[in-house]
Chain A
Amino acid sequence: MSAYVLSIVSLVGINIILALGLHLISGLCGQVSLGHAAFYGVGAYTTALLAKAGYPIGLTLPAAMAAAAVAGFVVGLCSLRVREDFLAIATMAAGFIFLGVVKQNEALGGEIGISGIAMPSFGRDGFVALELGVTVLVILFCLHVRRSWLGFGFSAVADDDVAAQMVGVDNRAYKLTAFCIGTALAGLAGGFLAYYLRGVSPDAFGFTASISVLCMVVLGGMQSIAGCIIATTILTLMPEVLRFADNYKLLIFGALLFLTMRFLPDGLGGLFALARRKEAGPS
């Protein structure tokens, strides 16, 4: 495979990990987050700093996940106090706070960011293999969560968190768990991105990035992991395949978000379910 294809494939993998993180929080557990890119950024900067200090990838990535999960825990505490529209605003604010802190901090490279991160010792191909392997593990993990009683509890909390408590599901513990796991995945994706780009800059983790991820999750369908993976792949490849699309990325993502919400609220996942029912014939 050419270096170009490899690089596209790794970007798709990174975005899948990132989007599945948000899928857990917003799709499975029903907690809107408009600041997902901030945790992506926390992971990327943690990795960048540690890699520059000479730590190996086996340490930088777990550290990236842990740092993002701690940040996610703190923002998750907000979700216990506020819901829906207020939570959306609170998470959006968390995204801006992250950006504000990073841009003002000289140790984090300010507006420019951090560059010159070395590829791990096993080289470019090895890195892509590792990243894709981890992507598969993340997909399997999310499928397990969905099937497990944790996913069962998440679906109850997403649906009606008072009724969830009445059947013994501690909504606070479940929301915090969703935030911690989801943001840890964002941190992991950020860690891979830091190696992939050989550096980090604050602009990659702004509000636009948060909305792009949200677009992937919404287009995929809030309830469908397969839909989320397919939507992420399409939206990642689109600017690469259609060169002109890159210039209109914001316009296209915005329009997609609007059209999905208006005409396909269950996203691609809902479309698959509909197709399956059609195939099965009228019951």
Chain B
Amino acid sequence: MMDPKQPRPALEVRDIAVQFGGIRAIDHVSFAVGKGDLVGLIGPNGAGKTTMLRVVSGQVRPQVGQVLLDGRDMRGFRVAQRARTGLGMSNQIVRPFRHLTLLDNVALAAGHDRTSSPWVAIGSVSRKRQRAAAMELLALVGIASVAHADPRSQPLGVLKRLEVARALAMKPVVLLLDEPLAGLNQAEAGKLADTILELNASGVTIVLIEHNLAEAQRICRRFLVLDNGRKIADGPVAAVMADDAVITAYLGEGWRNATR
């Protein structure tokens, strides 16, 4: 339980369980992410990270459990409502709007008050203010120079940053980044990790799902480890990485026996 004197967590997941047919993808997992935190959600392939992310984002409905965003129960909220409530989401496989410039990709998100319903949207034309806000965000993630480019002409590194800028434009309470470094070379990954660290330093709460453990260890303050749908560790990065259960989950029993 949270200490009542503590401030309300930005994101709280309570006792989530998800079953796909006979497979238990997530087995009663709970955790909380405090405001301003930078948490790495890690675990081997098939651990349930992506399913957990989809539960939080509203794409998968859990059989049991609750997701609270800034103290608000998200039950019955669809993806778009969660996004407007303050959940910023970036995709592992980049999904730019291909027919919009990079700037308009972000401006659309920055104008989420304009698109809240078709009735509001049809009464509003000017994109000036949202484009200005979008330009600032593109500069923040370092891709302002290609703001007017067509996303189809841009390399993966730029599109990964576009995902982050677009999620930031939702003015998120929590930013969920799904493997932002995947597919990037070492230099690009390092630079984007630095950008993520800077964002966090400026006050953005971030949950980072990442396979690149080296970079994740470098920038995260806390690790949350899932394995076979269960939470097996949660704490400061150094302590988690020294945890026997975590080492076993990643490297298997054999490795431990071999080093003894």
Chain A interface residues toward B at CB < 8 A: 144-145, 147-150, 152-153, 155-156, 158-160, 162-174, 177, 223
Complex interface: chain A residues within 8 A of B221 (CB): none
Q: How far apart are the CA atoms of A162 and B117 in the complex, in Å? A: 17
Identity of the chain B residue whose Cβ is nearest the Cβ of A171 in the assembled complex: B80
Out of A144, A162, A177, which one reaches B79, CB within 8 Å?
A162
Question: A152–B84 Cα gap in the complex (Å)?
Answer: 17
Smallest beta-carbon distance A125→chain B, Å: 34
Shortest distance in angstroms between B92's beta carbon and chain A's nearest beta carbon?
A: 12
Instruction: A174 to B122: give the CA distance in the assembly, Å.
Output: 11
Q: Which residue of the partner chain, among A149, A152, A163, A223, contacts B95 with CB atoms under 8 Å?
A: A163
B125 touches A147 (CB 8 A): yes
If over half of B's interface residues share one DSSP class (helix, strand or loop), that class is named, otherwise mixed; here it is loop
How many residues of chain B are within 8 Å of chain A by beta carbon?
A: 37
**Out of B80, B89, B111, which one reaches A152, CB within 8 Å?**
B111
Starting from the known contacts A155-B100, A159-B98, 14 additional A-B residue pairs (CB-CB under 8 Å) come to: A147-B125, A149-B124, A149-B125, A156-B108, A159-B100, A163-B91, A164-B80, A165-B83, A166-B79, A166-B95, A167-B109, A167-B169, A170-B117, A177-B118
Instruction: For the complex formed, measure the closest distance between the CB of B151 and the CB atoms of chain A, giving whole angstroms.
Output: 10
Q: Nearest chain A CB to B114's CB is how many angstroms away?
A: 4
Residues of A contacting B: mostly: helix
> Do residues A168 and B118 form an inter-chain contact, with CB atoms below 8 A?
no
Contact B99 A168 (CB under 8 A): no
Q: How many contacting A-B pairs (Cβ < 8 A)? A: 100
Given the known interface contacts A167-B83, A170-B78, the answer about A149 and B115 at a Cβ–Cβ threshold of 8 Å is: yes
5 pairs of A and B residues whose beta carbons are closest in the complex: A168-B112, A165-B79, A149-B121, A167-B109, A150-B121
Chain A neighbourhood of B169, CB < 8 A: 167
Distance in Å from the Cβ of A215 to the closest Cβ of chain B?
22
Known: A147-B125, A152-B121. A165 touches B80 (CB 8 A): yes
Whether the Cβ atoms of B170 and A167 lie closer than 8 Å is: yes
The residue from A152, A158, A172 contacting B108, defined by CB atoms under 8 A apart:
A152
**B121 lies within 8 A of A159 (CB):** no
B107-134, CB < 8 A from A: 108-109, 111-112, 114-118, 120-125, 127
Q: Can you name 24 A-B residue pairings with CB atoms under 8 Å?
A: A144-B125, A145-B122, A148-B123, A149-B111, A149-B120, A149-B125, A150-B118, A153-B108, A153-B115, A153-B121, A155-B100, A159-B99, A160-B95, A162-B79, A163-B96, A166-B57, A166-B79, A166-B91, A166-B95, A167-B109, A167-B115, A168-B109, A169-B80, A170-B78
* Contact, CB under 8 Å: A156 / B97: yes
User: B81 near A: Cβ within 8 Å?
Assistant: yes
User: What is the CA–CA distance of A152 and B114 in the complex, to the nearest angstrom?
Assistant: 10
CA distance A120 to B52 in the complex (A): 63
CA distance in complex: A147, B122 (Å):
9
Query: Counting CB contacts under 8 A, is B167 at the interface?
Result: yes
Q: Which residues of B contact A168 (CB under 8 A)?
A: 80, 83-84, 109, 112, 115-116, 170
A177 to chain B, nearest CB (A): 4
The 8 Å CB contact of A163, one of B97, B116, B118, is: B97
Q: Is B49 an interface residue (CB 8 A)?
A: no
Tell me which residues across on chain B come within 8 A of A167, comparing CB atoms: 83, 108-109, 112, 115, 166, 169-170
- Which residues of B are found within 8 Å of A165, using beta-carbon distances? 78-80, 83
Report the minimal beta-carbon distance from B136 to chain A, rounded to whole angstroms.
17
